[in-house]
Structure 1
Amino acid sequence: MKNTFKKTVLSGAVLQGIVLASLALSGSAMAYEKGDFIVRGGFTNVSPNDDASNIFAGGSDLGVSVNVDSNTQIGLNLAYFVTDYVNIEVLAATPFKHDVNFSVADPLGTGNQLGEVKHLPPSVTANYYFMDSSSAFQPYIGAGLNFTIFFDEKFTNANKTAGLTDLDLDNSFGLTAQLGADYKIDEKWHLNASVRYIDIDTEASFKVGDADGYVSDIQIDPTVITVSLGYTF
């Protein structure tokens, strides 16, 4: 009876030790550590919260402004942990293409769309992770800098026929902030979702025949949503 009792106690102690060891190993596998490198791939949507001054052409205020539609592209995300709780992250993507529209319907008789523009918004953020190693759910908050490069700006054919040419948007440098979370599938793979705000302000210039035209202030300021799959090296 005593031997049975001792074996039962011993077996229970061993089982408890195995469970605790498994939990400890599981927790450490879930945790990020200094030196970890993350690669993520998925989809990124840029949805402008735009506001702009009126269009001036040949010295005259046309009495209308512009707005920019949203676009989704393939997003690539790289991050390196400088401590167990802080990483430096770079957001990249395939080029976004946005229609630029008049703020009111067809003011020039050339259709609602003014033109289109492509851009790349590379952003660098420092992110802080809140949870300890026991959590598979890893929320974080971050802030950093953005540099948006505009290119391939062009008017619609109807606006070109009306005499509008040489559309050009200035590049933008501004702040960015984000909230995000990883959910660890295992020690290597995780799902990620994040929401960013990016401060993007630009100016547009163009030609109307031989005269100059411009929009002096275009605040794009998009909400950027990314959903991706990540791998930790």
Structure 2
Amino acid sequence: MKNTNQWRWVAGALLLAAAPLAQSQSAGSLLVRGGFTQISPDVSSGNLTAPSFANTKVDVRSDTQLSGGITYMLTDHWAVDVPLALPFKHDTVGAGAIAGVGKIGEVKSLPVTVFAQYRFLEPQAKIRPYVGLGLTYAKFYKERGTAALNGLTGGTPANPTLLSAESKLGLTPQVGVSIALNDRWFVDLAYYKTFVKTRNTLSTGQHIDIKLNPDVFAIGVGYRF
């Protein structure tokens, strides 16, 4: 009898583990998450305007920061999602004719995105894939050139070459999945791509147009209120 009861407990535990967890991402739910986000620019650079070497281009490096987000379920399937993160810092390096000069500048970015999301399956499903479409305002600030940039443009320590980056709007499609850990906690995985371009302008009067089009990877642990 004792062994029979033990097997009943085991069978019950297995059934509970296999059953969908009632995370209830239903209308009116507020989902809050925290984790990490990497922004990896997929750069297509134009040429720096004259006077410069022919085929003078740039590339932009990736950065990873602490991040999070808030999702509000408007219905059982439609939601509004707002990712949040600390500012990102991206190094700009030489490419094309100046590929060997290394870092020529850096810029901080603070992308602000609002997504309209559609979540598949039912609110109680353990795994809920979703798609989203958002509008991103890519705010660039605290631009800074390096000694290498001065060397390329004739700047000096006393009169360095300054640079500025235009902040822009871009369209951002998104795919992701929410995986329930229990009725309140979940893991969120997302990928999205922002189609955005900017113009970097130097104090010498030169400028360069850059398609950034970053790939964005986000992972977080969340809680449903």
TM-score of the aligned structures, taking structure 2 as reference length = 0.84
Q: 2:61 maps to which residue?
A: 69
The gaps in structure 2 that reach 5 residues or longer are 1-11
Does the CA contact (< 8 Å) of 2:76 and 2:123 recur in 1? no
Q: 1:203 maps to which residue?
A: 199
Letter of the 2:139 partner, please give it: I
Please say if 1:135 is aligned against 2:125: yes
Q: Distance in 2 between matches of 1:228 and 1:133?
A: 19
Please say if 1:40 is aligned against 2:44: no
- Runs (4 or more) in structure 1 with deviation over 6 Å come to none
Q: 2:147 maps to which residue?
A: 157
Does the CA contact (< 8 Å) of 2:26 and 2:123 recur in 1? no
Q: 1:114 maps to which residue?
A: 104
Deviation at 1:133, TM superposition (A): 3.8
Please list the CA deviations of residues 48-79 of structure 1 after superposition, one character each: whole Å capped at 9, or x if unmatched: 11101101144x56421111011101112111
Q: 2:46 maps to which residue?
A: 53
TM-score of the aligned structures, taking structure 1 as reference length = 0.81
Q: Distance in 2 between matches of 1:64 and 1:105?
A: 5
Q: 1:175 maps to which residue?
A: 171
How has the CA–CA distance of structure 1 residues 57 and 154 changed in structure 2, closer, same or farther, with 3 Å as cutoff? farther
Percent identity of paired positions between Structure 1 and Structure 2: 33
Please say if 1:90 is aligned against 2:82: yes
Please list the CA deviations of residues 16-51 of structure 1 after superposition, one character each: whole Å capped at 9, or x if unmatched: xxx9xx98xx76832211111111110000111110
Does the CA contact (< 8 Å) of 1:49 and 1:220 recur in 2? yes
Does the CA contact (< 8 Å) of 2:127 and 2:179 recur in 1? yes
Does the CA contact (< 8 Å) of 2:104 and 2:147 recur in 1? no
Q: Computing the radius of gyration over CA atoms, which structure comes out larger, 1 or 2?
A: 1
The gaps in structure 1 that reach 5 residues or longer are 1-18
Letter of the 2:141 partner, please give it: F
Please list the CA deviations of residues 162-181 of structure 1 after superposition, one character each: whole Å capped at 9, or x if unmatched: 41522000001010011100
Deviation at 1:159, TM superposition (A): 2.4
Letter of the 1:44 partner, please give it: T
Match for residue 187 of structure 1 among 171, 177, 183: 183
